[in-house]
Structure 1
């Protein structure tokens, strides 16, 4: 236990130090110098552990231990190496380090597996530098369209193509066949929520990733003088917005978990003290693990909004700009992960993920499941992001045993 504890603590400190931001946290954006340094550093660690390492065309890093018997079957684990700006020390990178340590321990203790074991350190997931998410995993499955990236630039005007070439990579060679050897993918990640901490659990088995519907909604009424416009004559869009929010959230609370509803951005106009707001723009984010329930609830809320606005003489425009279906994890892999938790006597629970992960790109294509470890205070994407090292160790132990079940038996 002491060795694992020290290994986890040392590796987390090492990797989060690459791109350490003077204002706190870690900033390691796709194809930046710090990103290259991190990928090369992980590669060296895997080289030193006796893994066969290589990059694909776009910069996903792989570390492989060959199997003895089922050479066309690979058990893969990993996550993404990029961060958000001023991010924490665990999001993404813990999954990479845990996979490396788990496979290293298995190799040292049990020797060659029956099936190939492979770490993947994915190039990008966050979309923090360029307006594109899951660049690493989408390329792995041939889902990324290079034509979409031709004119994309970052916040400093650096073109995506130039940054990629500068880091030594290029677009995927589409003449190469996609891999068909991945028999299981297991990702471990911090929860980014408070459920495990509040319940005193050290680890979770994730059985699904929630679907998401995101909206931008604009209410148009009438701007008018705050002193000379009687209440009965007003077409006040903030008042309409407040009724929409109250009614919608009351309904969401009544339904309860796993449904969640968020009104996150609000822009009233003219946004001044003495004018009735004639326009209000706001966003709505709704998530559920059941697609039918997600669609049913949002359809009801949309109709409620229209009814409220019609009664108040206000026009409404509803733009549904994200509609991602829930992604279930593979029942067999979930069963394997849960069996490991029971066998090892881990303090665990089964839960869904309300946040998106690379696993949602993998799951429709290869058998996939996830582990979560707790997040202190539920904080993520923030320099304060943290997890007790003891809980990180429990996660590495769970992942190690899961990979043993999948690759050695």
Structure 2
């Protein structure tokens, strides 16, 4: 496969929203975001695709199938970035999809099933306090009321910015033609690189529970308050964090737990902290285990607070269940990885992706390629060129099996009559 088009497109797209520090900033409904979407649209059209935007800015490029035009195999990723992010997260998946479809079109002509590439409007939630706006609209579950009053850091309204770029709320409809969805992405972790694997075949996306926890004690003088008299909120937090993380280490993969933010009050050197806010992020691929473990941690927090004479408030503000991928789709990916001779790993994703929004509606799976050092959301984000090549080739091979080969007898039994949802 010739990767020159991907390199050219990656260089061009990475110049749109480039940051002087070397990173990439392309936020939803910014001018840079619209310029990038229009560039992708031009590349789609140059390949002979029919293109269109939906009401919120998701971009679609389509090649009509010759035998089963009303059955669509879709691939793609998102075009937005975090602030000062890398040049692979999201946009590599879009460009890999373009290259894979272009390769199949040039080699085999018109596919049996329709092939479609999507450049999703938004995943990251980096500008406005909302996430998965593009994919939620795509599957028809977006709540328009949630975004009507939200603003970015400069006070610009979500709806005003959406309309400024020529988009508006759309009818919440759901397509009935999509028989498979494949997303390619960098791993954003270090497992593949550490284990020497070339490809990750993703079978599930971990569920997440996120908390804001507030411990309340009593602020007092650091020099005149004996240790036995104190109601130190940070001391209570330290006990909670130690007990929880020790238990998480005992259990091990796929459980991960992070205490990432700490805000003590009054946050000064010579005052016993009377209050502390801290966060907890807990993830696992088994929904029952995730609930059981995090509930046990909640009870432990309350016991520690009671023993130390502290007040406690626990706010679980995110509760996302794990999302399994479609067995039919990920087995197709795995079969292609075996045939291609790749060293691959069947794995879950600890990070969230828009595939978790799509998978409950359409048969979906993901392909991971290694990330050097596991670094992502950072200008230093990088993947070896050979790994990028492998990823694009495997995506093309997978799309061939799903859309180009004799779909009456192949494609792992996928059909328009497949019951939508996880299979």
| Aligned-residue offset at 1:163 | 1.1
| Aligned-residue offset at 1:234 | 1.2
| Aligned-residue offset at 1:350 | 0.8
Partner of 1:318: 314
- Provide the secondary structure at the position in 1 that maps to 2:245: helix
Matches within 5 A, 1:328-407: 328-407=324-403
**Structure 1, unpaired ranges of 5+:** none
Partner of 1:184: 180
| Aligned-residue offset at 1:178 | 2.3
Hey, what's the Cα distance between the residues in 2 that align with 1:352 and 1:378?
15
| Aligned-residue offset at 1:16 | 1.0
Hey, what's the Cα distance between the residues in 2 that align with 1:332 and 1:148?
34
- Provide the secondary structure at the position in 1 that maps to 2:81: coil
Hey, what's the Cα distance between the residues in 1 that align with 2:6 and 2:66?
28
- Provide the secondary structure at the position in 2 that maps to 1:85: coil
Structure 1, residues 345-388: CA drift from partner, whole Å, max 9, x if none? 01211110001101001000000000001111111111111111
Partner of 2:417: none
**Structure 2, unpaired ranges of 5+:** 406-423
Partner of 2:128: 130
Residue 46, structure 1, aligned to residue 19, structure 2 = no
| C-alpha RMSD over aligned residues | 1.0
Runs of 4+ in 1 over 6 A off after TM superposition: none
Q: 1:139 aligns with which of 132, 137, 140?
A: 137
Matches within 5 A, 1:57-76: 57-76=55-74
- Provide the secondary structure at the position in 1 that maps to 2:197: coil
Q: 2:296 aligns with which of 289, 300, 306?
A: 300
Q: Does the Cα contact within 8 Å between 1:9 and 1:389 map onto a contact in 2?
A: no
Residue 119, structure 1, aligned to residue 153, structure 2 = no
- Provide the secondary structure at the position in 2 that maps to 1:264: coil
Partner of 1:246: 242
Structure 1, residues 280-301: CA drift from partner, whole Å, max 9, x if none? 1100000000011101111111
Hey, what's the Cα distance between the residues in 2 that align with 1:240 and 1:178?
49
Q: Does the Cα contact within 8 Å between 1:220 and 1:280 map onto a contact in 2?
A: yes
Partner of 1:159: 157
Q: 2:257 aligns with which of 254, 261, 265?
A: 261
Residue 282, structure 1, aligned to residue 303, structure 2 = no
Hey, what's the Cα distance between the residues in 2 that align with 1:272 and 1:146?
43
- Provide the secondary structure at the position in 2 that maps to 1:64: strand
| Aligned-residue offset at 1:185 | 0.3
| Aligned-residue offset at 1:173 | 2.9
What TM-score do you get using the length of structure 2 for normalisation? Answer: 0.94
| Aligned-residue offset at 1:250 | 0.5
Hey, what's the Cα distance between the residues in 2 that align with 1:151 and 1:215?
24
Q: Does the Cα contact within 8 Å between 1:260 and 1:287 map onto a contact in 2?
A: yes
Hey, what's the Cα distance between the residues in 1 that align with 2:157 and 2:275?
36
Partner of 1:99: 97
| Aligned-residue offset at 1:168 | 1.2
Hey, what's the Cα distance between the residues in 2 that align with 1:227 and 1:112?
79
Hey, what's the Cα distance between the residues in 2 that align with 1:36 and 1:235?
53
Hey, what's the Cα distance between the residues in 1 that align with 2:146 and 2:290?
29
Residue 224, structure 1, aligned to residue 220, structure 2 = yes
Hey, what's the Cα distance between the residues in 2 that align with 1:57 and 1:121?
14
Partner of 1:19: 17
Q: Does the Cα contact within 8 Å between 1:8 and 1:392 map onto a contact in 2?
A: no
What TM-score do you get using the length of structure 1 for normalisation? Answer: 0.97
Hey, what's the Cα distance between the residues in 2 that align with 1:272 and 1:166?
45
Hey, what's the Cα distance between the residues in 2 that align with 1:302 and 1:52?
52
Structure 1, residues 115-154: CA drift from partner, whole Å, max 9, x if none? 0000000111111111111111111111112222222221
